[in-house]
Structure 1
Amino acid sequence: MPRMALGVAYDGSFWQGWQTQPSGRTVQDRLEAALHDFLAVAVGTICAGRTDTGVHGLGQVVHIDTGVQRRMESWVRGLNALLPDSIAVQWAQAVPDSFHARFSAASRTYLYVVRNARVRSPMLHGRAGWVYHTLDLARMREAAHWLMGEHDFSCFRSSQCQAASPIRTLQALEIEQHGDFFLFTFKANAFLHHMVRNLMGALLYVGQGKKEPSWMAELLRQRDRRLAAPTFSPDGLYLAKVDYPHEFGLPDSCERAALFSHLGFSLPRY
């Protein structure tokens, strides 16, 4: 049965995360309902990474197996006609059976946007995190240095995490400042449940002067979630990109450029 890969973008503010729930208020539920209407047959979706309630997707990738034939352009326009404004298919491509949206992924990149200002902005509600205490870029960058590479990230893992191992390899952690905005880029082979939001909480503690940068090394060594900072808001978190081997030839998402143009940033390097 032919396999199709889809690039999907969504505003997570309206949804209870990616994974299907009894309420039906998830991105997966809504996408599968649209696929059912489009193909006139029920199909299941496999995604590259499950996002939490309120987390956005700029470069989510899913695959489905179906014997129904459609033109590539029809996959995009036809599905988008059946989806709400907060979800849109960006591209569609036929892939070999060896492709798997989750297991074929070489890395995932998440972005977190934080606005650092004394007063919150209603225009950015749900789209950027907000911190009113002054943040120190140099301190956060120093803290990030301790997190790079392969570690046991138990201290940044949700108690509900179902991953078999807490070992992950953080390939990149870059922090940039653009006026009142801070942009955090996290790239890893895979992430634990709430890992990015928990890392954000700790980095922001350091940035506000509540902890020293070397605190990150202590947390990694102690492997105790109770000793770390609280989980930070999902509002400014975006699943930005999923990397696959070049042999699959998947296109890139176009939604990242739109986001950064809106916020006045240049596109990050990842």
Structure 2
Amino acid sequence: MTLFYHFDEKIPLTGRLAMGVEYDGTRYCGFQRLNHAASVQASLEGALSKVANEPIQVSASGRTDSGVHATRQIVHFDPPVGRSEKAWIFGANTHLPRDVAVRWVKPVGDDFHSRLCALGRRYRYVLLNQISRPVLERANVTWCRDPLDADAMHRAAQALVGEHDFSSFRAAGCQSKTPWRHMHFVDVKRYGQLVMIDIQGNAFLHHMIRNIAGALVSVGRGAQDEAYIGELLALKNRRKGDVTAPACGLHFVDSVYDERFDLPKEPLGPHLLSFTGEWTGERELPDTPRVAYRRKRSLRHPTAPPEQEASS
């Protein structure tokens, strides 16, 4: 996918559609529809339903916490009517609020499922590390005025890579039946005043990344040593964990699928980091039984009951 191309406005798209969605989560309870608060899903379904003139429901690659942003949330839906690529994108964006936008739409086979076919989810937690509080960036970074040692944070974070019981980093109200998750990689890098925690795994527990970020900041400040993260992991006890970092610094930047689905490739977000020169920032997936299972499962129509996974 290039940054600029012409949307087709003549050929009606039929069958299942995948869609890339970007949003500023500041005023939402998260992606998933809730009865008591505003959600991204409700806004998106309302806009798509106006384009189709019929009700539409979407399924997403993962849920996000209240206040968390996304630059590449993947959804799929089965449209009741045919509309062109331009009609779906421009029509939806016309009816969406300014803090939500559709980036692309693509026909996919009936065997594609945005959640069940996902091989991994990737998030980036962005810290603005400077003495003065942020102004223009205040809604999408977490401000830290104490000097952070990003290299020490990176070394400490390597204890999280692999398959572990992440009980020390899950919220008390987490509904997942298992605390076990597989982290593909965790990198911490500094780009000028920005410190970025880049993390990808098969799925995430409720508040898991924000709890990891809070603990890594303690290492970066020098309040804890580099063995701290591994020690917390071994405790398997959230009550002995660190603080939960604010939601505003967290960005859902990618869902990873088997190459056969051929979803559009995009610059990896958030856009504050576009100057790093990355295009998609893709990594090789680990050769694990879970990834192999998901790849095989994606070859069949995913009608079996979903795994007990939750994506924060």
Deviation at 1:164, TM superposition (A): 2.0
Deviation at 1:165, TM superposition (A): 1.3
**Partner SS for 1:80:** helix
Q: Which moved more, 1:51-60 or 1:211-220?
A: 211-220
Deviation at 1:66, TM superposition (A): 2.2
User: Does structure 2 conserve the Cα–Cα contact (< 8 Å) formed by 1:7 and 1:253?
Assistant: no
Could you tell me which residue of structure 2 aligns to residue 98 of structure 1?
111
Q: Percent identity?
A: 36
**Pair 1:222-2:235 in alignment:** yes
Rounded to whole Å, the distance in 2 between the matches of 1:249 and 1:82 is: 28
Name the amino acid aligned to 1:20: R
Match of 2:92 among 65, 70, 79: 79
Name the amino acid aligned to 1:269: G
User: Does structure 1 conserve the Cα–Cα contact (< 8 Å) formed by 2:268 and 2:281?
Assistant: no
**Partner SS for 1:231:** coil
Q: What is the total number of aligned residue pairs between the two structures?
A: 268
**More strand by percentage:** 1
1:229-248 pair list within 5 angstroms: 229-248=242-261
- Going from structure 1 to structure 2, the CA distance change for 1:77 and 1:129 (only over 3 Å counts) comes to same
Could you tell me which residue of structure 1 aligns to residue 281 of structure 2?
269
Name the amino acid aligned to 1:222: L
Deviation at 1:53, TM superposition (A): 1.3
User: Does structure 2 conserve the Cα–Cα contact (< 8 Å) formed by 1:170 and 1:186?
Assistant: yes
**Partner SS for 2:26:** helix
Match of 2:141 among 111, 128, 139: 128
User: Does structure 2 conserve the Cα–Cα contact (< 8 Å) formed by 1:54 and 1:126?
Assistant: no
User: Does structure 2 conserve the Cα–Cα contact (< 8 Å) formed by 1:58 and 1:253?
Assistant: no
- Going from structure 1 to structure 2, the CA distance change for 1:84 and 1:253 (only over 3 Å counts) comes to farther
Deviation at 1:259, TM superposition (A): 3.8
Structure 1: stretches of 5+ with no match in the other structure: none
Could you tell me which residue of structure 2 aligns to residue 4 of structure 1?
17
Match of 1:48 among 42, 61, 71: 61
Rounded to whole Å, the distance in 2 between the matches of 1:201 and 1:22 is: 30
Structure 2: stretches of 5+ with no match in the other structure: 1-13, 283-312
**Partner SS for 1:36:** helix
Partner deviation per Cα, 1:214-250 (whole Å, 9 max, x = no partner): 1212111110001111110011111001110011111
Could you tell me which residue of structure 1 aligns to residue 160 of structure 2?
147
Could you tell me which residue of structure 2 aligns to residue 59 of structure 1?
72
1:169-208 pair list within 5 angstroms: 169-208=182-221
TM-score by length of 1: 0.94
Deviation at 1:191, TM superposition (A): 0.9
**Partner SS for 1:20:** coil
Rounded to whole Å, the distance in 1 between the matches of 2:112 and 2:199 is: 24
Rounded to whole Å, the distance in 1 between the matches of 2:276 and 2:141 is: 13
Deviation at 1:255, TM superposition (A): 6.8
**Partner SS for 2:196:** strand
